[in-house]
A = this chain, B = another copy of it.
Amino acid sequence: MSRVYNFSAGPAAIPDPVLARIKDDIPDWNGTGMSVMEVSHRSKEFVEAAAKAEQDLRDLLAIPDNYSVLFPQGGATLQFSMVPLNLSTEGQTVDYVLSGSWSKKAISEASKYCNVNVAADSSDQNFTYIPEESSWNRSKGAAYLHYCSNETIAGVEFPFIPDSGGAPLVSDMSSTLLSRPIDVSRFGVIYAGAQKNIGPAGITLVIVRKDLIGGARSWTPSLLDYSVYDKSDSMSNTPPVFTWYVAGLVFEYLKGLGGLVAVAKINERKAQKLYSAIDESSFYSNPVRKDCRSWMNVPFILQNPDLDAKFLSEALAAGFANLKGHRSVGGMRASIYNAMPEAGIDALISFMREFERVNG
């Protein structure tokens, strides 16, 4: 089959030029006579590639010098454990915002280690909005405030950076990171699984303020301790070399596009086009409050769910893959990360209009 427009929520599309480079680099990467899957993580070539990846990421996000960048495995889910184990002490109170399925999982995991206070909760309206900050119930002396900046399932994204009242601010940015500029200095920890805007699944980015490293509980498993990664440039054990390399290619590609200011303009335009097409139609709809709509994950439903299966099969035949909504909410979802070209949005909108014309 020729390449499709891949609307998967993750693992998600990877930019075509990055894939072409990966293909070219097999079976001889960088003049080593080996593919990058086969090189030692201690080799000069890989150590340089890993450091360049970090520097390119630092450039893209303007990460201040008092932040470390760590590359653990385990995705955002392992961070659900690592954050409380590194940033709080036994029984301490931590604040979490409950804004969807992912923050719910983060809360469940943190509850093993801390006294979790849910500072805000949008479950009353199926996670289709972000509660006004003035209504939040923050704890005094919380070890940190955690929120998920973009909930991929409901397609809701924070339109602001919360005020944590002095506590370190921690954010699961799996679906936001690299989609737009972020003021990293506002955060204690930012983390993201790779399989949205970064690269293949199997590596995680953790950007952590250095003063928050070193306080893990004494029994923390070594690979869940930020300081172990910080001291070893994330190579205390064998890192996922290939995945790290791909992430580096993606960072280089994004710099070549003009960095995150340029990327954000494209993403905003892509999202606005798709939301406008949905809003202008009475055949499709999106339930999320307009100021909280995700740039990255656009769920929509057909007014007549009996047409869902037909929509999906005709979409796939026309080259639009993975439009099925998450099983917990149904309907459709178009995830439109950085690697989704604007032409893919235009083509999807044309397809949706034609489907509506025929079936509406």
**Pick the contact of A1 from B20, B33, B193 — CB < 8 Å?**
B33
A residues contacting the other copy or chain, number (CB 8 A)? 69
Residues in chain B near residue A27, CB distance under 8 A: 3, 16, 19-20, 23
- In the complex, what residue of chain B is closest to A220 when comparing beta carbons? B112
Which stretch from A122-130, A198-206, A252-260 is at the chain B interface?
A198-206
Known: A27-B23, A112-B219, A322-B40. A237 touches B35 (CB 8 A): no
Residues in chain B near residue A9, CB distance under 8 A: 40
Residue contact A33 to B241, C-beta cutoff 8 Å: no
- Taking the nearest CB of chain B, how far is it from the CB of A299, in angstroms? 16
Q: In chain A between 128 and 146, which residues have their CB closer than 8 angstroms to a CB of chain B?
A: none
**Pick the contact of A321 from B8, B32, B73, B221 — CB < 8 Å?**
B32
Q: Does A57 contact B (CB under 8 A)?
A: no
Residue contact A77 to B223, C-beta cutoff 8 Å: yes
- Taking the nearest CB of chain B, how far is it from the CB of A127, in angstroms? 19
- Bound CA–CA A113/B217 (angstroms): 13
Known: A195-B238, A201-B238. A38 touches B11 (CB 8 A): yes
- In the complex, what residue of chain B is closest to A219 when comparing beta carbons? B112
Q: Give the copy number.
A: 2
Residue contact B31 to A238, C-beta cutoff 8 Å: no
Q: Does A278 contact B (CB under 8 A)?
A: no
Residue contact A11 to B39, C-beta cutoff 8 Å: yes
Q: Does A100 contact B (CB under 8 A)?
A: no
- In the complex, what residue of chain B is closest to A34 when comparing beta carbons? B6
Residues in chain B near residue A28, CB distance under 8 A: 1-3
**Pick the contact of A237 from B8, B20, B39, B77 — CB < 8 Å?**
B77
Residue contact A41 to B2, C-beta cutoff 8 Å: no
Q: In chain A between 178 and 210, which residues have their CB closer than 8 angstroms to a CB of chain B?
A: 193, 195, 199-203
Residue contact B2 to A109, C-beta cutoff 8 Å: no
Residues in chain B near residue A266, CB distance under 8 A: none
**Pick the contact of A38 from B6, B39, B218 — CB < 8 Å?**
B6
Residue contact A8 to B40, C-beta cutoff 8 Å: yes
- Taking the nearest CB of chain B, how far is it from the CB of A222, in angstroms? 6
Q: Does A224 contact B (CB under 8 A)?
A: yes
Residues in chain B near residue A239, CB distance under 8 A: 201-202
- Taking the nearest CB of chain B, how far is it from the CB of A235, in angstroms? 11
**Pick the contact of A23 from B26, B201, B221, B322 — CB < 8 Å?**
B26
Q: Does A148 contact B (CB under 8 A)?
A: no
- Bound CA–CA A243/B240 (angstroms): 9
- In the complex, what residue of chain B is closest to A228 when comparing beta carbons? B77
- Bound CA–CA A138/B161 (angstroms): 57
- Bound CA–CA A127/B319 (angstroms): 59
- Taking the nearest CB of chain B, how far is it from the CB of A72, in angstroms? 8
Residue contact B241 to A242, C-beta cutoff 8 Å: no
- Taking the nearest CB of chain B, how far is it from the CB of A269, in angstroms? 23
Residue contact B19 to A35, C-beta cutoff 8 Å: yes
Residues in chain B near residue A202, CB distance under 8 A: 73, 202-203, 239-243
Q: Does A236 contact B (CB under 8 A)?
A: yes
Q: A1-B31, A10-B238 are in contact. List 11 more A-B contacts (CB 8 A).
A: A1-B32, A1-B33, A4-B32, A8-B40, A32-B321, A34-B321, A73-B74, A73-B240, A77-B236, A113-B219, A200-B240
> Could you pull out 11 A-B pairs where Cβ atoms are within 8 angstroms?
A4-B32, A13-B34, A13-B38, A14-B38, A23-B23, A41-B201, A74-B237, A81-B222, A81-B223, A202-B203, A202-B243
